[in-house]
Amino acid sequence: TGSVRMTRDPGGGQRYWADIQLAEVRLAPLLVDVQAPEQATLADGPGEQIRTVPDAAEWDQSGDLSRGLVNASLSLTGIVGSESGRRGRGRIIASGGPVVMLPLLTPLIEFSNLQPPLGDELRLALASFYLDETGVCFEDIAVLSDSVELLGYGTMSWPGGELDLRVRSQAVNRIPVVSGMIETVRDELLTTRLTGPIGSPDFSTESFAATRRVMGSLFGGEDNPNRRRLRDIGLSADAARRRIRTAESLMDRIEAGEVSPSARGGNDAP
């Protein structure tokens, strides 16, 4: 759902206010629409693909759950035809299946986590952000799988799509003693930084962040703000994961007839 309101701005332009809400939208057909090349749209003029009526099955992708479901909200205001004065805030949560199956992302997570490449599919992705005339600021980014978590924050220019993100990963199922030792070494050495265009970013490492934090604490400094921020993002991601698992468990019980559908609103939920 969505709504748009427009008024005359004191500066002479037209100011808009837009609110968009997505609820349980299938991500796979949405990505197909977003990634469609311009030459394939109807606005480019009639083509052979328009003259030929396709089968209904080719158009109907409503049952495609291969990328899971997405819930999102976005509020945006600005001046029509101008980047000046643009302001907005949004949040996206994708879940309910293998949300992302990118060949680069999973090996990156597993490598930075010092784990062998398990080919794990990612199950949950969420991001909170605000934007202005310079671009998008991601307050928190979390991508979760059954074995690892990717936590980060940063910025992206808009237009342009130039990234500047800092990310770290951690194991979900830790091995006692061994995991603690590995994570201590990793935290002392690596914070991955992504910079450059969104289509082909560069990966680098920022070294010894935790060492600087320890040295700062010895001489009266405070805890590293980057570390505190990533810790807060991790707590938010854990809360989102618990809410989704609780909802999935409740839906399973409803389908099994163990509780009534009114439990969706919490009436019969334990």
Taking only the tens place, the pLDDT of each residue in 213-223 is 544 544 444 55
Contact 136, 158 (CB under 8 A): yes
List the beta bridge partners of residue 124. 144
Q: How far apart are CA 22 and CA 20, in angstroms?
A: 7
The pLDDT tens digits of the residues spanning 109-150 come to 655 655 554 556 667 788 899 999 989 999 888 887 777 777
Contact 199, 176 (CB under 8 A): no
Quick check: is 270 in a domain? no
Can you give the pLDDT at residue 235?
Answer: 75
Quick check: is 178 in a domain? yes
Phi, psi of 68, deg, nearest 5: 85, -165
The pLDDT tens digits of the residues spanning 258-268 come to 766 555 554 44
Can you give the pLDDT at residue 103?
Answer: 47
Name the average pLDDT for the chain.
70
Quick check: is 184 in a domain? yes
Quick check: is 199 in a domain? yes
Q: What is the pTM of this model?
A: 0.67
Q: Domains in the chain: how many in total? A: 1
Decide if pLDDT at 55 tops 80. no
Contact 21, 73 (CB under 8 A): yes
| Structure-token pair, residue 80 | 């029509």
The pLDDT tens digits of the residues spanning 66-113 come to 667 888 999 999 998 888 889 999 999 887 666 555 545 665 665 565
Phi, psi of 77, deg, nearest 5: -140, 155
Domain membership of residue 103 as a residue range: 2-54+63-265
| The pairing of beta strand 2-8 with beta strand 135-145 | unpaired
